[in-house]
């Protein structure tokens, strides 16, 4: 870990070569607590474009800083969708991990909120922290889930737990999700990155072409369905996002 080489300079996203075969994408928009600001969105897209253009890396570790992994839409971003100015599909960051040709490990050492949690679930391997909060809190704001949440949450967590998360929009600590039997490693926050690195090294032992070929096979059904699901989520947003109550909830929940 001491010989990290910076691959990309960006204000809020660091791209580091941890080892010759392992690349780390670290989100650290401290002003917005890793909400999907324009800066974070651009940084993530640029990072994965660089990774895709490389022919050397075998595995990606996606992580955040301190107690934050990723915290979903900013107030400005949600209001722009509520007003019909944009859609969450305008900048596709939710499936960056799914579309990445090499395996991605989401080291969710910190809170994963809304679209931030969903983005992590699109990774091939996931590690959570016991202390952190994870939630698909879209309905807390009064609009139906987006970011592919209605698809990937049931896929990764099972239908019953996914329905509970999506409908109630409640907060769950990693320790609670562990007790509910989620199929991911759940560790103390300080151990999450070490465990992700251990997993990455196991993957990096394999031939790159074999990793790409197997991932392509494993995620093919997900890639085939995601566009249709996102189209359905956009239709639901047209029915739910533009309510005046949603605008009020966004203002209230952001403290304005």
Domains and CATH numbers, the chain: 5-190 (3.90.226.10)
Predicted confidence (pLDDT) at residue 1 exceeds the cutoff of 90: no
Question: Which token pair is 191?
Answer: 């151990």
Q: Can you list the positions of beta strands (E) in 130-189?
A: 133-135, 172-173, 185-187
Predicted confidence (pLDDT) at residue 37 exceeds the cutoff of 70: yes
Q: Which residue has the tokens 């509520």?
A: 82
* HSE value, Cβ hemisphere, 13 Å, CA-based, for 161: 19
* HSE value, Cβ hemisphere, 13 Å, CA-based, for 189: 14
> Mean pLDDT over all residues of the chain?
95
Catalytic residue among 111, 195, 237, 242: 237
- Asked if 74 contacts 115 with a C-beta cutoff of 8 angstroms, the reply is no
Is 237 among the catalytic positions?
Answer: yes
pLDDT, tens digit, 9 for 90 and up, residues 89-147? 888 899 999 999 999 999 999 999 999 999 999 999 999 999 999 999 999 999 999 99
pLDDT, tens digit, 9 for 90 and up, residues 215-243? 999 999 999 999 999 999 999 999 999 99
- Please report, rounded to a whole number, the percentage of residues in the chain having pLDDT higher than 90: 92
Average pLDDT over every residue of 34-43: 96
Cα separation, 27 vs 63, whole angstroms: 6
Number of neighbouring beta carbons within 10 Å of residue 58: 23
pLDDT, tens digit, 9 for 90 and up, residues 142-167? 999 999 999 999 999 999 999 999 99
Cα separation, 113 vs 136, whole angstroms: 6
Question: Which token pair is 107?
Answer: 């080291």
Cα separation, 70 vs 95, whole angstroms: 14
pLDDT on residue 2: 44
Q: Which helix (H) or strand (E) holds 22?
A: strand 22-27
Cα separation, 12 vs 27, whole angstroms: 6
Strand order in the sheet with 104-108: 5-8, 13-19, 22-27, 59-63, 104-108, 125-129, 185-187
pLDDT, tens digit, 9 for 90 and up, residues 183-194? 999 999 999 999
């Amino acid at each position: 870990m001491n010989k990290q080489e910076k691959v990309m300079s960006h204000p809020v996203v660091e791209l580091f070569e941890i080892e010759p075969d392992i690349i780390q994408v670290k989100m650290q928009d401290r002003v917005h607590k890793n909400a999907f600001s324009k800066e974070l969105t651009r940084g993530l897209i640029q990072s994965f474009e660089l990774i895709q253009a490389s022919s050397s890396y075998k595995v990606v570790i996606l992580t955040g800083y301190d107690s934050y992994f990723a915290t979903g839409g900013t107030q400005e971003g949600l209001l722009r969708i509520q007003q019909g100015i944009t859609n969450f599909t305008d900048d596709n960051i939710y499936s960056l991990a799914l579309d990445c040709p090499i395996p991605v490990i989401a080291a969710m050492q910190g809170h994963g909120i809304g679209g931030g949690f969903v983005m992590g679930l699109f990774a091939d391997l996931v590690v959570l922290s016991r202390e952190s909060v994870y939630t698909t809190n879209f309905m807390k704001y009064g609009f139906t889930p987006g970011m592919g949440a209605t698809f990937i949450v049931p896929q990764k967590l099972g239908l019953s737990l996914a329905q509970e998360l999506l409908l109630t929009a409640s907060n769950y600590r990693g320790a609670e999700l562990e007790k509910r039997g989620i199929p991911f490693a759940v560790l103390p926050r300080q151990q999450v990155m070490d465990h992700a690195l251990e997993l990455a090294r196991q993957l990096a032992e394999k031939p790159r072409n074999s990793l790409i070929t197997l991932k392509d096979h494993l995620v093919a059904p997900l890639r085939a369905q995601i566009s249709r699901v996102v189209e359905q989520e956009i239709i639901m947003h047209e029915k739910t996002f533009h309510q005046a109550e949603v605008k009020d909830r966004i203002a209230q929940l952001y403290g304005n």
